[in-house]
Structure 1
Amino acid sequence: MSNLKEIYEKSAEFTAFYTGGDIQWTNDGLQMLCLCDEAIKVVEVDTLITSLIIGETEEDAENDQIYTFKISHSNQSIVTAHKSGLIKMWDKETGVQLKIWRSSHKGPVVKLAFDSTDENIASGGSDGNVRLWDVGHNTCTSSLRGAMGVFSVLEYHPDSSKQLVFGAADDTKIRSWCSKTGKEQLVYSGHFSKVTALLFTLDGKYMVSSGRDRVLILWDLNVSKALKVVPVYEGIESCILLPPSFKIPNFNKKLETEGVYVACAGEKGIVKVWNLSMSRLMFEQINSLVSPSTEEGGLSITHLLYNQARNMVSVVTVDHNIIIHDLETFDSVKQMIGFTDEVLDIIFLGKNENHIIVATNSQDLKYYDLETMNCQIVKGHTDIVLSLANFPTKLEMFVSSSKDNSVRLWLQTPNNTIHCLAVGTRHTASVGSVYTSQTSDDFFTSVSQDNCIKVWTVCKPAEKCVEQNLKCSHTELAHQMDINCVAVSPNDKMIATGSQDKTAKIWAEDLTLLGVLKGHRRGVWCVRFSPVDQVVLTSSADSSIKLWSISDLSCLKTFEGHESSVLKVEFISKGQQILSSGADGLLKLWTIKTSESKMSLDNHDGKVWSLAISKNESYIITGGSDSKLVKLKDVTLEQRERRTKEREALILQEQELNNLLHDKKLLKALKLALRMDRPLHVLKIVNEVLKGGSEKLRETLSDISHTQKETLLKFAVEWNTNNKNCHAAQLVFNILAPEIISGNLKVPSLANFIEGALPYTERHFERLTNLLQDLNFITYTVNCMQPHSVIKFK
């Protein structure tokens, strides 16, 4: 039994830090401020640690969602606009709220902007108005009118002496106002769709605007004239002005005499650099990790951020990935996954299992380094990846299946990149599950919503790293409804499938049907072969796990404990135990022999779809619908060692206590018994001390600490419930009461002590009063019975 697991503890947790909306990069390039659900998370770029959360209190999170935010130019403060109509200012370093005021807009505030001095803030609302605020005096200095609809961009002119505010709303016109007088200055008409960005050149002469109407416009600020209208052939969501001196691949800036250089991105998922002055495309990204939008007018990239300190550009995608590129080489230097959505499957990868592959609600795979949690996005599938499986004999090779009706064979290269070896496209519906051969790397199986099971032959890697076509060796119509899962036996001789038709089936390697397992009341979610016995494990939407005999197809055991569908099960401890995860968010550890649940962990807020176990079973990684990855460590040995040490220490203390009692060292014995939390031993010692009188007890108790007195008081309340021990308890109360009344002894839970002691004390008092009355009556009776002088009558 010593090799059985008892407990896994959470050693790390990786949660979402960006769920869409505003995102900003600090001037030093070390942190990103990301809008995540109802709060702002400050994420360290190098370590991916969330160092600060702004607006995370229950009141803020539940009732006052942050709609938009802006960081000041000095990076010292952050201003946020909330659902309640409030505007709040926060200290960026501590997250402390500095100021709060009401926006006075008729609808929500959707855009905020600091002026170059950080002394004034502009708020643009959905009511088409802009309000200007003096931060120092908390006053509204102007209300700027003229725009119609919801603001999409709002910016101060970088030169504070010009005192200009620019904004564009649903009417697609860019307006400028004087920030001092509040009067409208110039209107820039040129866009025919939503304006998405406004940029100003360093010399203050020109403005660049981008829009969903697929053009970039270069404006002369002074006359509101469009100098250049450059068609970019895609809807632009974000653009950045590149610095005067910069380098990008395949472009020699010295050949250009002058120009306004703008990098833009949006619909196509690639970054382009344009010289607006000459209407020329200078650079087009070829190594993009972002998939283009699948819908007309849809988005792929939502933000472009430039950091001058690091000379890097961040690309923020519509599925919440943040990809950081070095501007000079435009190589990807870091990939940050802000929000993984549902985690559908996880596998360990590599000989040392220091990487994991994660399938999320996306067509891209996420390839994580477990030490740093750095991520690489692996592209290949064209629809959501549903299942993953690695080869036990070759841990750097794995298989994936997807909603695009295909399976793919992948290889981890020595330089830690993922390369697709081959593709199989013989299924006619979503491929829900794959499983690899266990004793070789010769084949793998897949099951699909087309109700078929297929066996695929693994091909050898091509010399020129060209994707090959996988060949299917066997196909069988396996079930009458969707097939949810497949598994291969440890000797590769059998295959098991589980389906929505409530059955699991066992097949020979050539897909000859060997038997049907009937007994579940709902669809079967997972099936696994035991690594040592001739048994099969199934889990179902009926909340149960069943163990079946392969030889006679009978159900041997049923494990019940989950409250809803059991989505994943795995054998561990050489087939003696089971790990299961369910739609109730629980991870359970079962011992087969006793049918007992040894452990139940509640680390997830929703369905736990994925459960990956390392080869030596020391680590588990779980993932689910809450976009959370939880790493668990086996601490069974540590816990056993801790229990052993505690037991040894207890034995030594017991021996020491007995020795002190034997030697009549009552004060030391009392202190030790109190430290050991032994009320009966303490009672024994108190009664022993009382043999010398109550004053002796008073002297003894004066030598113990306040903490020990508090423990003694707790024990006394316990003794007081028993008539035999109430005398010692009442004496302890009597001795300690003056100290409590005077304030020398502070008891945090004094009310609980009094509440526990008072009813029994009243009962003892009543009992003793009755006893005293009875004794007095007996005394009177006895006195009456004493012989008196007899009067003789004559």
Structure 2
Amino acid sequence: MANALKEVYEKTAEYEAFYTGGDIQWTTDGGHFLCQCDDVIKVIDVNTFCNILTIGDTLEERDGSDQIYTFKLSHDNQTVITAHKSGLIKLWDKETGKQVKVWRSGHKGAVAKLAFDSSDGNVASGGTDGNIRLWDITHYTCTSSLRGALGVFTVLKYHPDSSKQLVFGAADDTKIRSWDSKTGKDNLIYSGHFSKVTSLQFTSDSEYMISSGRDRVLILWKLGESKALRVIPVYESIETIILMPPSFKVPNFKKKLETEGIYVACAGEKGVVKIWNVLMSRLMFEQSNSLVSPATEEGGLAVTHLLYNEARNMLSVSTADHNIIIHDLETFTCVKQMIGFTDEILDIIFVGKDESHIIVATNSRDLKHYELGSMNCKLIKGHTDIVLALANFPTKPNVFVSSGKDNSVRIWVHDEQNEIKCFGVGVRHTGSVGSVFTSQTSNSFFASVSQDNCLKLWTVPVDQENNDQKMKSSHTELAHNMDINCVAISPNDKIIATGSQDKTAKLWTEDLSLLGILKGHRRGIWCVRFSSVDQVVLTSSADCTLKLWSIADLSCLKTFEGHESSVLKIEFLSKGQQIISSGADGLLKLWNIKNSECKMSLDNHDGKVWSLAVNKSESLIITGGSDSKLVTLKDVSMERRETLAKEREDLILQEQELVNLLHDKKLVKALKLALRMERPLHVLKIVNEVLKYGKDKLSETLKEINNTQKETLLRFATEWNTNNKNCHAAQFVFYILAPEIISGSLQVPSLASLVEGSLPYTERHFERLTNLLQDLNFISYTVNCMQPHAVKSVE
């Protein structure tokens, strides 16, 4: 219906952060990841991306002060151990998420690393004080304190062969130390690294170990010998290594018998997985299709963890951007991408003919391409700094534009295979490009605005097959004297609007001649939009208001007030009859333009709602903000109207049935129906009708109703008891139901409040009746006293 206004949007899905950095572990069966997320550990299903369990203190117990510093999952996947800011170590059941035990670590500082031994019966905790404490978790006792290291532990491991009884640790002094886990005595010191040791792995034959560090080398050690066997320069800071299984396949790599060796996969600064044969000091494989951007500064991090899962023969890469990328080891293709934490969501658009996908710009140089049904994600590379804005072409929904802090605009095409490639780049701006908007009637041009105070029009390249073609700017105008926050193009492509921090919005012609200035906001303008049906422009501002302007005479027609902070994003709905707005107060509001009424206010976000995407049919809205949440909202106005109509119809039928039952004197059925319909006056009428036949009849009648109905009746009786006229019926109900409550056969959860509400009125009624009885007795006595005198006078 064209004139049917939206009434309510309902949240149907929420996709929030599950990994905010720190430790991450993969269960042995490959089905779940355990990820550190703020003050808890979330267990994530690899197939559905659902958070199936949260391990950590409940929301009530959590105050943000007892942060989890590190955690470890036992080898049998049954137990999780966590170390906290408060100095506590907690043991949790991984299946139920319940806390099993808690004890003090005894370290002078925080615990930086934890490790289980191969039997899962002992745990080592390495602190920031340079000490390791060994714990017997069967009896929860400290068995040893291992000293000698200096600084914070970066690596802590038990040797996998329990017969060796060795614990290895490396701290800030860059030496790898080993201790006897039974006696607690020093065993051997392995010196070779000149910078922080980041990872340590042991070969399956228990003969060798391999270490990596920030000093850009891998070192092969023979256990029991303090001198390095091999030092392999890898020309990048390495954060994580894993030992490859004895037999494995990766593309373009065949192991020869004469080159059998120890194969180690490593990753770090460059964001690329490399496999080295450390016995031969040879690079055997280098990933060519990495989705991880290299670190922006030398010595920085791109990859933080590599995890290998034998059950699935898959390798997962955890990145500094909190993404988890799973590769099939044989083909090294990306199987899945999981976005653990998107940071701030800055913009969202729908793409594709059926709008089955969305593109999301987050606080990252990579765009995120989600499939809406499964929330499966792909990273899109191209920009060299944070992407700030997105816009798609209404006439060609598979083509869209992006802009970013790298001062560039890019145009992309989304093909039939759901692959996305960039076919045009524009680099004429000299500041961050904060907003883009596309032509509404063609796919030949788009507009961009920047911190350089310029408005530019760009011509879209005709050839979509060539990658990264240079785009030309057809028009440029110095539009404002402060940062320009937003741009919009009218539905007929004839007018362009810009909004700036200078508190004004300006209207421009196709060749960027100034048409007029909209003045009236008291703060900078965040968003501007044209109506699809009327000659009006809508603006939203940091002064917490929305304003509707006439294009003809540039006057302000209406001001909408209701947000408590900056209004960041606005869109017209219902053919220009309604507005949806999102603000820095975390609220989403739906407005009717005709009467300036706010129809709906939703509070789904904990911070600024930067982005708001509405699909063509307006049945779906997706919002994103500074809290890293993507919230999907569905228009349920029609369903709500149908439900209300059905409820109204049912009510009319029930009322008719009640009238019929009362007419036919079917009082028990009438009482049940009136209680179900929550009609206290009808119930009172029925109770009074029954009382005409005596209180025994009422007692019989009340036996026919169930406990839920009796509870409702008690509630009604408490209401009637407040009125002198109706207290008679109320007191009879109390009198009949009291024995059932006392015996316990009738459980009333709200009994205390009902009694509290009834007692004062009951006492007042009792006092009134007592006074009435006294008066009646006095009249009777007076009458009786007067009777003999009357008889005498007659004689």
TM-score by length of 1: 0.97
C-alpha distance 791-81 of structure 1, shift in aligned 2 (>3 A): closer
Matched-pair contact (CA < 8 Å) for 2:160–2:202 = yes
Structure 1 stretch displaced more, 84-93 or 149-158: 84-93
What residue is the counterpart of 2:734 in the other structure?
733
Q: Among the aligned pairs, what percent are the same residue?
A: 76
C-alpha distance 415-321 of structure 1, shift in aligned 2 (>3 A): same
C-alpha distance 97-573 of structure 1, shift in aligned 2 (>3 A): same
C-alpha distance 256-563 of structure 1, shift in aligned 2 (>3 A): farther
Describe how 1:770-785 pairs up with structure 2 within 5 A: 770-778=771-779
Describe how 1:717-756 pairs up with structure 2 within 5 A: 717-756=718-757
Matched-pair contact (CA < 8 Å) for 2:477–2:512 = yes
What residue is the counterpart of 2:313 in the other structure?
311
Q: C-alpha distance in 2, partners of 1:541/1:771?
A: 69
After superposition, the C-alpha distances for 1:131-158 in whole angstroms (9 at most, x for unaligned) are: 1111222221111111111110011111
What residue is the counterpart of 1:371 in the other structure?
373
Q: 1:588, CA displacement in angstroms?
A: 0.8
Describe how 1:239-388 pairs up with structure 2 within 5 A: 239-254=241-256, 256-388=258-390
What residue is the counterpart of 1:143 in the other structure?
145
Q: C-alpha distance in 2, partners of 1:667/1:261?
A: 83
What residue is the counterpart of 2:494 in the other structure?
493
Matched-pair contact (CA < 8 Å) for 1:462–1:468 = no
After superposition, the C-alpha distances for 1:715-758 in whole angstroms (9 at most, x for unaligned) are: 01111111221111112112212222222222111110011111
Q: C-alpha distance in 2, partners of 1:261/1:520?
A: 65
Describe how 1:539-618 pairs up with structure 2 within 5 A: 539-618=540-619
Which residue, 76, 89, 92 being the options, matches 1:90? 92
After superposition, the C-alpha distances for 1:629-667 in whole angstroms (9 at most, x for unaligned) are: 000111111111111111111111111100000001111
C-alpha distance 462-696 of structure 1, shift in aligned 2 (>3 A): closer
- What is the identity, as a one-letter code, of the residue corresponding to 2:232? V
Q: C-alpha distance in 2, partners of 1:700/1:254?
A: 92
How big is the alpha-carbon RMSD for the aligned residues of Structure 1 and Structure 2? 1.6
Structure 1 stretch displaced more, 56-65 or 783-792: 783-792
Q: C-alpha distance in 1, partners of 2:56/2:737?
A: 47
Which residue, 120, 133, 136 being the options, matches 1:134? 136
- What is the identity, as a one-letter code, of the residue corresponding to 2:646? K
Matched-pair contact (CA < 8 Å) for 2:271–2:292 = yes
Which residue, 394, 398, 402 being the options, matches 2:396? 394
Q: C-alpha distance in 2, partners of 1:789/1:214?
A: 127
Local SS of the residue matching 1:347: strand
Q: 1:461, CA displacement in angstroms?
A: 2.4
Q: 1:790, CA displacement in angstroms?
A: 11
Q: C-alpha distance in 2, partners of 1:502/1:255?
A: 73
Which segments of 5 or more consecutive residues in structure 2 lack a partner in the other structure? none
Matched-pair contact (CA < 8 Å) for 2:125–2:134 = yes
Matched-pair contact (CA < 8 Å) for 1:38–1:61 = no
C-alpha distance 112-776 of structure 1, shift in aligned 2 (>3 A): same
Q: C-alpha distance in 2, partners of 1:714/1:43?
A: 46
- What is the identity, as a one-letter code, of the residue corresponding to 2:325? I
Matched-pair contact (CA < 8 Å) for 2:3–2:574 = no
Number of matched residues?
791
1:195 correspondence with 2:197: yes
Q: 1:385, CA displacement in angstroms?
A: 0.6
Local SS of the residue matching 1:760: helix
C-alpha distance 61-245 of structure 1, shift in aligned 2 (>3 A): farther
- What is the identity, as a one-letter code, of the residue corresponding to 1:334? K
After superposition, the C-alpha distances for 1:272-295 in whole angstroms (9 at most, x for unaligned) are: 111111111112222111111111
Q: 1:61, CA displacement in angstroms?
A: 6.0
- What is the identity, as a one-letter code, of the residue corresponding to 1:303? H
- What is the identity, as a one-letter code, of the residue corresponding to 1:109? V
1:176 correspondence with 2:191: no
- What is the identity, as a one-letter code, of the residue corresponding to 1:201? T
Local SS of the residue matching 1:253: coil
Q: C-alpha distance in 1, partners of 2:264/2:222?
A: 16
Matched-pair contact (CA < 8 Å) for 1:39–1:61 = no
What residue is the counterpart of 2:758 in the other structure?
757
C-alpha distance 492-232 of structure 1, shift in aligned 2 (>3 A): same
Local SS of the residue matching 1:696: helix
Q: C-alpha distance in 2, partners of 1:617/1:653?
A: 37
C-alpha distance 695-284 of structure 1, shift in aligned 2 (>3 A): same
Q: C-alpha distance in 2, partners of 1:789/1:70?
A: 105
Matched-pair contact (CA < 8 Å) for 1:43–1:49 = yes
Q: 1:593, CA displacement in angstroms?
A: 1.1
Q: 1:466, CA displacement in angstroms?
A: 2.4
Q: C-alpha distance in 1, partners of 2:288/2:252?
A: 12
After superposition, the C-alpha distances for 1:27-55 in whole angstroms (9 at most, x for unaligned) are: 11111111010111111111111111100
Q: C-alpha distance in 1, partners of 2:578/2:374?
A: 31
What residue is the counterpart of 1:101 in the other structure?
103
Q: 1:97, CA displacement in angstroms?
A: 2.0
- What is the identity, as a one-letter code, of the residue corresponding to 1:155? K
- What is the identity, as a one-letter code, of the residue corresponding to 2:595? T
What residue is the counterpart of 1:620 in the other structure?
621
Matched-pair contact (CA < 8 Å) for 2:268–2:304 = yes
C-alpha distance 245-791 of structure 1, shift in aligned 2 (>3 A): closer
Q: 1:791, CA displacement in angstroms?
A: 9.7
- What is the identity, as a one-letter code, of the residue corresponding to 1:684? K
After superposition, the C-alpha distances for 1:159-190 in whole angstroms (9 at most, x for unaligned) are: 11111111111111111111111110111011
Matched-pair contact (CA < 8 Å) for 1:302–1:317 = yes
What residue is the counterpart of 1:654 in the other structure?
655
Matched-pair contact (CA < 8 Å) for 1:55–1:61 = no
Local SS of the residue matching 2:25: strand
Which residue, 451, 454, 462 being the options, matches 1:452? 454
Matched-pair contact (CA < 8 Å) for 1:261–1:276 = yes
Matched-pair contact (CA < 8 Å) for 1:271–1:284 = yes
Local SS of the residue matching 2:753: helix
Q: C-alpha distance in 1, partners of 2:68/2:636?
A: 40
C-alpha distance 791-738 of structure 1, shift in aligned 2 (>3 A): closer
Which segments of 5 or more consecutive residues in structure 1 lack a partner in the other structure? none
Which residue, 412, 432, 440 being the options, matches 1:410? 412
Q: C-alpha distance in 2, partners of 1:773/1:504?
A: 83
Q: C-alpha distance in 2, partners of 1:578/1:703?
A: 54
Local SS of the residue matching 2:256: helix
Matched-pair contact (CA < 8 Å) for 2:421–2:467 = no
- What is the identity, as a one-letter code, of the residue corresponding to 1:692? Y
What residue is the counterpart of 1:31 in the other structure?
32
1:15 correspondence with 2:16: yes
Q: C-alpha distance in 2, partners of 1:257/1:708?
A: 82
Q: C-alpha distance in 2, partners of 1:374/1:159?
A: 40
Structure 1 stretch displaced more, 727-736 or 766-775: 766-775
Matched-pair contact (CA < 8 Å) for 1:325–1:334 = yes
C-alpha distance 324-790 of structure 1, shift in aligned 2 (>3 A): closer
What residue is the counterpart of 2:674 in the other structure?
673
C-alpha distance 462-588 of structure 1, shift in aligned 2 (>3 A): closer
Structure 1 stretch displaced more, 335-344 or 637-646: 637-646
Q: C-alpha distance in 2, partners of 1:51/1:674?
A: 41
Q: 1:205, CA displacement in angstroms?
A: 1.2
What residue is the counterpart of 1:167 in the other structure?
169
Q: C-alpha distance in 2, partners of 1:182/1:230?
A: 32
What residue is the counterpart of 1:155 in the other structure?
157
1:524 correspondence with 2:539: no
